Amino acid sequence: MRITAGVDVGSTQTKAVLLRENGDMKIIARALVDTGANVQKAADRAFRACCSDAGIDPREVGYVVGTGYGRYNISFGHSQMTEISCHAKGARFLCPGTRTVIDMGGQDAKAISVGENGEVLDFVMNDKCAAGTGRFLANAAEVMGISLDEIGPLSLQATRPVKIATVCTVFVESDILSYVAQGKKAEDILGGVHLAIAKRTLSLARRVNIEAVVTMTGGVARNTGMVKALETVLGSSIQVGADAHFMGAVGAALFAMEKLGQSFESTVWEGAHAASRRD
């Protein structure tokens, strides 16, 4: 039995998972903490929360891989991987057959093109603008005075989504306020906001080759309205795993498992793949 951990320090939230390999591969613990200003501390807290949740001693964890936070590289755990590789890895594991990953996190939006064998072929990300990120949606929710968890479901009830001409997080605030003043329904405003962001994100994603299966990862994947808006604009369905939010951490833990023993790569890992392909 081997246990590894993946810790994904995001701009907004830090995610950690523990992975256990014991004939099969299982996620045995998850933890989510706010990143705050001290990334090292957040990573440590998330990792320890996972261990205590699973009831194991941190020393039992054989290998820890850290990931996340583009520009501000952290050095946590035994080694680090880019979040691009980790999201691709996690998505291939939890949503077999994934060829395109759309990752919408707290402050970034990415699209990753994955090859038939799970290798990263290409990726694009927003580095200049907050459109398409969780931050954008959090801002919109705040302006509307509606909780972040509610805006997605509400947007699904839109009957006549409003037109949102700009995707600048700051400008949309004014747009929203003027629609509120015009007496537009919250559902329709949010419907318009979600559609605008879906268009923006997909125009980013189209810079890589979008191929089925498309899997969505990152915290924004929990927003059902966003998933639906992306599906509407894309014109095809999008996979969202139960652990979409933890995908980067899952990928990191999988890499950790590989590092722990190369022998594993040829036996169990291949087995897991073969099993998933049959699904």
Q: How far is the CB of 234 from another protein (least distance, A)?
A: 23
Cα separation, 140 vs 70, whole angstroms: 24
Q: How far is the CB of 71 from another protein (least distance, A)?
A: 9
Cα separation, 197 vs 136, whole angstroms: 9
CB of 162 or CB of 250, closer to another protein:
162
CB of 166 or CB of 236, closer to another protein:
166
Q: How far is the CB of 173 from another protein (least distance, A)?
A: 9
Angle at 258 between CA 214 and CA 81, to 5 degrees: 65
Candidates 88-96, 166-174, 227-235, 258-266; binding stretch for another protein (CB under 8 A): 166-174
Residue choice 22, 174, 237, 267 for contact with another protein (CB under 8 A):
174
Q: How far is the CB of 212 from another protein (least distance, A)?
A: 31
Q: How far is the CB of 45 from another protein (least distance, A)?
A: 16
Residue 76 binds another protein (CB under 8 A) = no
Residue 14 binds another protein (CB under 8 A) = no
Nearest to 225 by CA among 179, 191, 196: 191
The residue ranges of DSSP E strands in 107-153, in sequence order, are: 109-114, 120-125
CB of 181 or CB of 242, closer to another protein:
181
Beta strands at 100-104 and 214-217: parallel, antiparallel or unpaired: parallel
Residue choice 1, 55, 57, 72 for contact with another protein (CB under 8 A):
72
Phi, psi of 229, rounded to the nearest 5 degrees: -65, -40
- Kindly identify the residues of this chain, within the stretch 240-259, that bind another protein according to CB under 8 A: none
Candidates 89-97, 143-151, 162-170, 238-246; binding stretch for another protein (CB under 8 A): 162-170
Q: What is the distance, to the nearest Å, from the Cα of residue 169 to the centroid of all Cα atoms in its chain?
A: 20
Tell me the sheet residues that pair with 215.
Answer: 101, 239
Dihedral sign of CA atoms 34, 38, 43, 47 in order: negative
CB of 6 or CB of 134, closer to another protein:
134
Residue 38 binds another protein (CB under 8 A) = yes
Measure Cα distances from 238 to 59, 133, 147, 247 in Å.
38, 18, 25, 15
Q: Which residues contact 164 (CB under 8 A, 6 or more apart)?
A: 172, 175, 192, 193, 195, 196
Residue choice 1, 181, 242, 274 for contact with another protein (CB under 8 A):
181
**Contact pattern for another protein over residues 115 through 144, marking x by CB under 8 A:** -------------xxx----xx--x-----
Cα separation, 156 vs 127, whole angstroms: 29
Please report, as ranges, the residues that interact with another protein according to CB under 8 A: 11, 37-38, 72, 107, 128-130, 135-136, 139, 166, 168-171, 174, 177-178, 180-181
